[in-house]
Structure 1
């Protein structure tokens, strides 16, 4: 089945300036991979610099029409190939249905679904047998939070997209999987977690009794890219402390990942 390492492989990770994306880039480099860190924020340069010669920053907006091809080209130019894509970039916006606008709907769906889909499309010409594509979905794909209907819809779309892509790409030997994190301590949830009462409420809703860390999610991403996961395909794997498995009277909070 192979070793649980990714020595010498080349990965492209989006949302790599912070949170799960940054943790995944660090974990991949630690496991021997070379990584292109893609993000809209200039902070990604500092993260990449801290990882040395095995990492390169790519600063661009994945919503721009040509950005997907640019991100892939930058990766190929830096490392000569591409073996894995981790679609981690995303946004969480909460609003009531009355507050929802067409603009806010488009923003969430474009960033959370459209951008990773077309980045994956751009990468396919360079991915061969044994390649792995990972989408960071969310527990909110199956367990909604108050005022988070569009976010939940976007993450549910990713889970369905993974199944479709898995069917399409299996004949090429390319695996596609989703990771569905629960409440993870990331900048995405930082505002909510700053309120001790809200933090306590979220923790009460997690059977494991605590929030998860980006590093725990990153470890799962490395596993899915490695040969150990060669028979894992079309899956959506929860890493949420039991949040989506066990009913809890506690409010699920403002969002999962």
Structure 2
């Protein structure tokens, strides 16, 4: 079967702005990790467009500051943002629990509350199973799993009932990708940790869910675009026969943070064009 051309997909393009109005979110405060670029930067911008004040954090402090400034400048002239939120950049090493608490304190100092916390930071290493080094498995578990736990702990210490945490899992939590054994293991752990957090933090009225993206066109998956064979495979195994866009992940994120999902917790929503079924 030949790869399906994305241009054959009818309707609007997958990168087109998707309008979703949740007026109750205006004035809320969100923390987004891994927000200097890619999906995290898109989350920060999309939330701020809807009036949410955002602390965007990344280990690359300089790039995070530049991204925050770029988003704020764009919002100042945007016709989509009636009363936009503000984005503040900060540094965080998500493997360090104390730095998550410091990040929470920045949000409280700048905006006075924490309503949403998005554990987005992650790494995507490659190595065949017999080549996974102790350093690689430690790094991926530290960032992808401990980062989620430490972020959720910091969030839960300061959130009021009604707060929401969203973790980034992956369809790789349930599907095997050759050469991504460490990554798949970490995302399976995130999916299960999300359920554990939802059960325990439900006592505080805090909801915890995860999003499990598939092939999304970001910096992390640039290798798919740059490898014709990989792109052909991706378009073939995704039932919708195209890559997803960050905007199409942002839609489910908005839902999970909104009052529309106030009775939804402990779930992982796949945003993968159906690839988990193939």
Q: Shared fold by TM > 0.5?
A: yes
Aligned: 1:149 with 2:181: yes
Larger radius of gyration: 2
Contact residue 137 and residue 182 of structure 2 kept, 8 A = yes
Q: Show the 5 A alignment for 1:156-171.
A: 156-171=188-203
| Distance change >3 Å, CA 172–CA 60, structure 1 → 2 | closer
**Distance across 2 between alignment mates of 1:125 and 1:105:** 29
Match of 2:65 among 45, 57, 60: 45
2:204 aligned residue? 172
Aligned: 1:36 with 2:58: no
Q: Show the 5 A alignment for 1:68-107.
A: 68-107=100-139
Runs of 4+ in structure 1 over 3 Å off: none
Larger deviation, residues 144-153 vs 49-58:
49-58
1:65 offset after TM fit, Å? 4.5
Contact residue 148 and residue 190 of structure 2 kept, 8 A = no
Deviations 1:95-149 (A, max 9, x none): 1112111111000000000012112111212101110000010000011101111
Aligned: 1:126 with 2:146: no
1:230 aligned residue? 262
Q: Which consecutive unaligned segments of at least 5 residues does structure 2 have? A: 1-20, 73-84
1:208 aligned residue? 240
1:252 aligned residue? none
Match of 1:4 among 22, 36, 40: 22
The structure where helix makes up a greater share of residues is 2
**Distance across 2 between alignment mates of 1:60 and 1:185:** 25
Contact residue 171 and residue 272 of structure 2 kept, 8 A = yes
**Distance across 1 between alignment mates of 2:268 and 2:139:** 24
- Number of residue pairs matched by the alignment: 244
Deviations 1:181-226 (A, max 9, x none): 0100111111232122221211111001100011111121111111
**What is the TM-score of this pair, normalised by structure 2?**
0.85
CA RMSD for the aligned pairs?
Answer: 1.3
Contact residue 24 and residue 222 of structure 1 kept, 8 A = no
**Distance across 1 between alignment mates of 2:93 and 2:181:** 25
